[in-house]
Amino acid sequence: MMLHIPQVLSPEQVADCRRLLQQAPWADGRSTAGFQSAMAKDNLQLPEDCAEARQIGALILQALERNPLFIAAALPSRIFPPLFNCYQGGQSFGIHVDNAIRTERGSGERIRTDLSATLFFTAPDEYDGGELVVEDTYGAHSVKLPAGDMILYPSTSLHQVMPVTRGARVCSFFWMQSMVRDDGQRSLLFDLDTGIQRINQELGAEHAASVQLTGVYHNLLRRWAL
């Protein structure tokens, strides 16, 4: 399931983050890529332990904790600390699949990458190209979102970033280990949760249908959660 999550960060938060990113120590992005990805990757990236990355990453994680759409879709167990990249001057990232396991620098803890996320800091009219193209069973989907918005998609997906031919594309990217490992099961739970919320709005949370379906939701989550 791919999901567009709007306004994860407010315009004011985006502006503050961009000021920090402008003064940050950007480096060659291939230094953090796996063997296969390094052959396809051409971008700039912030060092994971730099002050700007830690400060903006903490802001993103706080925003996600307060975002009900993200929580319902991802059912996050653990989130890898957000990373940051910049594409400009024809840079791109060829088609690839993200590493199945990521190791947190410092703690050494490993996270299974069930879901990938890209949060945009630059508006679509600020650069040409730079589309995130994600492939699934229904074909290729091109993504280029407003600043502050985020795309969430299964980490099993083949994806790429098209060349940026004008301006600069600046984003945060990171991964999640979900409480529900299977993407199909997560999608069913998300659809069920969405339906329950609609019933609650139209009929009230105490309606028999809402009570029954809420029970089904939690029993499925109990069965599928790891």
Write the DSSP symbol of residue 63.
Answer: H
Residue 218 among known ligand-binding residues: no
Residue 98 among known ligand-binding residues: yes
Question: Phi and psi (nearest 5°) for 38?
Answer: -60, -30
Q: How many CB atoms lie within 10 A of CB 34?
A: 14
- The position carrying tokens 């961009």 is 18
Q: How many CB atoms lie within 10 A of CB 211?
A: 12
Residue 169 among known ligand-binding residues: yes
Output the CA torsion 32→37→38→42 (10° steps): -90
Annotate 111-157 with three-state secondary structure: EECCEEEEEECCCHHHCEECCEEEEECCEEEEECCCCCCEEEEECCC
Cα gap 163→128, rounded to integer Å: 8
Q: How many CB atoms lie within 10 A of CB 1?
A: 15
Residue 159 among known ligand-binding residues: yes
Q: How many CB atoms lie within 10 A of CB 110?
A: 13
CB 195 within 8 A of CB 213: yes
Cα gap 26→46, rounded to integer Å: 5
Annotated binding-site residues read 96, 98, 159, 169
Binding-site positions for Fe cation read: 96, 98, 159
Annotated binding site for 2-oxoglutarate: 169
